Amino acid sequence: MKRNLSRETRMALEPRKQPRQERSSKVVDRILDAALTLTREQGTKTPTTLAIAQRAGLSVGSLYQYFPNKEAILLDLARRWLSSFPEVIARRIEVTPPTNRDEFRQEVRKLFIDTSKIYLENATLMPVIEAISGNADLRPIQDEYDEQIIALYAAWLQHVNPALEDKIASRLGVLMMDVGHACRLVGLKRDRKTYDLIEDDVERMWLALVTPYLNLD
């Protein structure tokens, strides 16, 4: 039975039940591991329930003990990543805003380093993120997170320059996110040295993007 995720099930992406016995929490881990490995192997295509079960050494039925549907498995993998973004950006808004060009440059750099760290720490998850973006059912959920992240980038910009108009802040926010994301995905597929070079590239681009809008002397 093909489900209509968009309707009822969207509400039900939470784990179906908590594992009560020790063996079963290991099972949950095995399911998540299998889903991750398969997604990495297959590139964009999301793995089938059967494939996940087999790779985890389980039967399909067991999947549904802990997850209400296939999407929930992938989403579980992505959630930590998706939610660490808002946290990190929010933390960069708490500090006192910069007052001159040099301090400002420093603030960009800090935000930049912090976000980069998220990508490096979650490098193995990237194929899942890409798969989610390419999946018609999961895309909307990621979009919700993206909205949040954009809003926070915009808030950060207005924190750095309180005079910045909302409209401009949100436009620059989107671009910061998308440019950062696109470039870092490229970077993570290359070797570490290239990743670092791309990081420098992104930093220059961010600065070029944002500087004209921060009328600092």
Partner DNA sequence: AAAGAATGCGACTAATTATTCGCGTTTGTC
Partner DNA sequence: GACAAACGCGAATAATTAGTCGCATTCTTT
Contact residues toward a copy of itself (CB under 8 A) are 43-45, 133-136, 139, 171-172, 174-175, 178-179, 181-183, 186, 190, 194, 197-198, 201, 204-205, 207-209, 212
Taking a C-beta distance cutoff of 8 angstroms, is the pair 213, 173 a contact? Answer: no
23 lies in the binding site for DNA (CB under 7 A): yes
37 lies in the binding site for DNA (CB under 7 A): no
Structure-block tokens of residue 22 = 């020790």
| Shortest CB 117 distance to a copy of itself, Å | 20
124 lies in the binding site for DNA (CB under 7 A): no
* Virtual torsion, Cα 156, 161, 162, 164, nearest 10 deg: -90
What number of CA atoms fall less than 13 Å from residue 191's CA on the CB side? 1
SS3 214: coil
Find the part of the chain contacting DNA (CB under 7 A) among 21-29, 99-107, 116-124, 145-153.
Answer: 21-29
Least Cα distance to 180 among 107, 120, 98 occurs for 120
Of the two residues 89 and 202, which places its CB atom closer to a copy of itself in the complex? 202
5 lies in the binding site for DNA (CB under 7 A): yes
15 lies in the binding site for DNA (CB under 7 A): no
3 lies in the binding site for DNA (CB under 7 A): yes
DSSP 72-97: HHHHHHHHHHHHHHHHHHHHHHSSPP
Of the two residues 53 and 183, which places its CB atom closer to DNA in the complex? 53
Binding-site partner at residue 114 among a copy of itself, DNA, none, CB < 5 to 8 Å by type: none
Quick note: the x/- pattern for DNA over 49-88, rule CB under 7 A, is xx------xxxxxxxxx---xxx-----------------
Taking a C-beta distance cutoff of 8 angstroms, is the pair 124, 154 a contact? Answer: no
Residue matched to tokens 């989610």: 132
Taking a C-beta distance cutoff of 8 angstroms, is the pair 187, 195 a contact? Answer: yes
Q: Which residues bind DNA (CB under 7 A)?
A: 1-5, 9, 17, 19-24, 27, 46, 48-50, 57-65, 69-71
